[in-house]
Each structure stands twice: as structure tokens, then as C-alpha cells.
Amino acid sequence: MHRPLLPGDRPSTGKLPALGVLGGGQLGRMFLHAAQQMGFETAVLDPDPASPAGRVAHVHIQQGYLETSGLEDLADASLAVTTEFENVPASALQALAKRLPVAPSADAVAVCQHRAREKAFFASAGIPCAPFASLESEADVAAASGRAELFPGLLKTATLGYDGKGQCTVQSPADLPAAWASLGQAPCVLERRLPLKLECSVVVARGRDGTCVHLPVQQNLHRNGILAVTQVPAPGLSPAQAGEAVAAAERIAAALDYVGVLCVEFFILDDGSLVANEMAPRPHNSGHYSMDACDVSQFELQVRTLAGLPLTPPRQHSPAVMLNLLGDLWFPAGPEQPARTPDWAGVLALPGARLHLYGKSEARPGRKMGHLNIVGVDPSTVRSVALQACALLGLPAF
């Protein structure tokens, strides 16, 4: 892209300045809201007629990600395309890149969507991560069983795993064959379980010219493998640790020659050291607080990187807590009972509460239905209000 896309431009092709996205989930929806707020037309490719992003797009192409006609229609409707989830086929991004700018690139996404490639990339970039082994055959399982430094460990499928899915704990070498069988003997990564003090993440945005900006470091709490709470500023991190995490995330983005928004998740170990866990080539759940606590959200950063617009460093103007809202909240009496609407009126009566629901047609246990941002004048006040929200919604305290 030799010149930025500007809202209101009509290029020589006659197209409106439409920004396209592969994927119709909530991340795509929030990207589209940011693009539309800035004056851009929008287009979505997603086969679900009721997809959250498809319902708010100017153009919704209801076809699969590998259907040639759907990709051609998206290219016809767009001047640049991004993705809202890492499991989109890299070949779809490659096909689109032959016709128009695509960010992030297929090569970068391919690294992020395969755990073995991701771990190997961290190592090549000089970023510490947990000891690991790739398992694709019985011989690999036997070899890994002989490496004491990998146990106790976590066995994760190499692809398509998210929110705690596709993984299991392996306490000893003797348990590994059965654990691998339980995951269908699919290609996997075995990584050592590390003594964790806390988890954090960094959202960076990198332009085609190499300019890189970042959101403040986020401290995260997961429950059952799913992000539950994000706090910013991160209460458990020292300034030195936060700086190390930012530097590592920016080094990763540069090594990938990345264009777009990238989230890198880190572990802080009991000894205070930092290791990389995984990365997502898109906006991330832990960056949602930026919609209400920063002057530039992660979704506006995604718009700016895709359109080639200037990247200004985001400024956090308010401390924030983000609470993830899963479909379980609609079933306080259990999943077999009728769904009930949570007490949104009570929640919205709290000072600084900002509710974001994703427009999904049906609540289901474990399904991400929305998030609640709490902002305020200082971290202690924000945490106090967030705990009140947890009590109203039946969420555990943190």
C-alpha cells in the first residue's frame, strides 16, 4: 500500500474505501464498529448468517473461508483485508494477498496458529519459553518420555486449541501415551508446567513502515483455561518486568515482520523471570479494556494498521478492570434450567461500568457473550466496583 486509505476517498477503481475482515465473531464486530466510527465502509466473509460481525457489516458475504467465489467477492468489496481469528486458513490470506493488501500476512498467521512453529519461533527470536517437545508419532512420544525436564507437563494439540480446549495435564512419562491417545494422536506440543506467579499480556500494533506502539501491560486471570479478569495497570508487575514484556513483544513483532495488532501472552514465574506463552495475530480479549480506558483502542489500532494510517501511542486515561462474560451467567441454576437475563440494570448502576454485549443469538455455557469494563479514578476504587459487579453477576471474586 503506497498511500493510506482515508475515510471518504474514492480511489480510481471506483470502490468505496471498504475494510474487509475474515471472520464474523465478536472481534470482527468490534473492529467493524471502530472502522465505521472512522467513516469506512466494511465487509465480512463468514458463512453464518447470524454472525455478530455480519449483522453490522455493510457487506456480508455468507460463504466459507476457502470458497473461491467468496474470497473473490471479499476482494471485490474491499481495499484491504484483515482477520479476526488465527484459525482462518492461511491459504485464504495468501489468495487475497494476490489482489490487495492483507494484514497480518499469511506467513505470520501460520506461525501463530501452530504451537510447534510458535515455540520454535520464540526460540529463534531469543524469547524464553517453557521447555517443549513436538509430538507427531509414537517415536516422538517415546523420545519425549525420556526427557525428565518436560514433566509434569501440559499436552496441547498443535492446532485449533483455544480457551483451554485441546489440552490435558501429563504428570509423568508413564502418563504420556494415554494422554496423546486422548487427543486423538493428533500432532501435539508437550510443554513443562512452570511455577507461575501470574500471567500478563502485551498488545502491540505495528505498521508497514515498522512503526510499533503498544497498550499498557495487562495482568490476566484465567479460569478453566478461559480469560476471566484483566487488570490495568497490572498490580503484580514491577516496572522492570513490564518493560521487559513490552520489549519482548516488540521484538517478536519485528522478527515476524508483522503488520497489524498482535497480542503476546507471558508468564511471570515465581523467581520473577518472564517467559512467553503464546501469541494471537489479532486483537485480544485482554485488550478489551482499551475501548473505555484508553484514547486509542486496540480495534482502532487494527483499523489504522490495515489502512496505513499514523500510529499514535495509546494513552491510558483511566485504571480499568475487564470482566469476561460467559454464557454461564444466563444459567445461574444450572445449564439444564431455562436461561435468565443477568442483572444488567444493577450492573449499569455501578459507577464506571461499561457493558459490551456481542449480539450473539443464544447464550451457552462457556460461550463468550460479552465483557464488562470498569473504569475509575484509581485502581483500588475500580477493583472495589468490579468486585460489586462480580457479586451481582454471581462471578467469583479475584
- CA 70 to each of CA 36, 45, 90, 96: distance values in angstroms, whole numbers, following the listed order: 22, 7, 15, 11
Q: List, for residues 63-80, the tens digit of each pLDDT value.
A: 999 999 999 999 999 999
Task: Look at the chain and count its residues.
Answer: 398
**Which pLDDT value is given to residue 237?**
97
**Which pLDDT value is given to residue 11?**
63
**Which pLDDT value is given to residue 32?**
98
Q: List, for residues 197-223, the tens digit of each pLDDT value.
A: 999 999 999 999 999 999 999 999 999
| Separation of alpha carbons 27 and 162, rounded Å | 15
Q: List, for residues 331-350, the tens digit of each pLDDT value.
A: 998 999 999 999 999 999 99
Tell me if 185 sits within 8 A of 203, measured CB to CB: no
Residue with the three cell numbers 483451554: 164
* Residues paired with 280 in a beta bridge: 263
**Which pLDDT value is given to residue 13?**
65
Predicted confidence band of residue 88 (pLDDT cuts 50, 70, 90)? confident
Q: Is the pLDDT of residue 377 over 90?
A: yes
* For range 246-266, the mean pLDDT: 98
**Which pLDDT value is given to residue 165?**
72
Predicted confidence band of residue 166 (pLDDT cuts 50, 70, 90)? confident
- Give the domain 18-102 fold: Rossmann fold (3.40.50)
**Which pLDDT value is given to residue 12?**
64
Q: List, for residues 39-60, the tens digit of each pLDDT value.
A: 999 999 999 999 999 999 999 9
Q: Is the pLDDT of residue 17 over 80?
A: no
| Separation of alpha carbons 40 and 59, rounded Å | 12
What is the average pLDDT score of the chain? 95
Q: Is the pLDDT of residue 306 over 80?
A: yes
> In terms of DSSP bridges, do strands 80-83 and 18-22 run parallel, antiparallel, or are they unpaired?
parallel
Q: What percent of the chain has pLDDT over 90?
A: 91
Grid cell for residue 72: 473473490
Predicted confidence band of residue 162 (pLDDT cuts 50, 70, 90)? low
**CATH number of the structural domain 131-192:** 3.30.1490.20
| Separation of alpha carbons 243 and 246, rounded Å | 5
Q: What is the largest CA-CA distance in the chain?
A: 65
Q: Is the pLDDT of residue 287 over 60?
A: yes
**CATH number of the structural domain 196-393:** 3.30.470.20
Predicted confidence band of residue 8 (pLDDT cuts 50, 70, 90)? confident
| Separation of alpha carbons 238 and 376, rounded Å | 22
Per-domain boundaries in the chain: 18-102, 131-192, 196-393
Q: pTM (2 decimals)?
A: 0.95
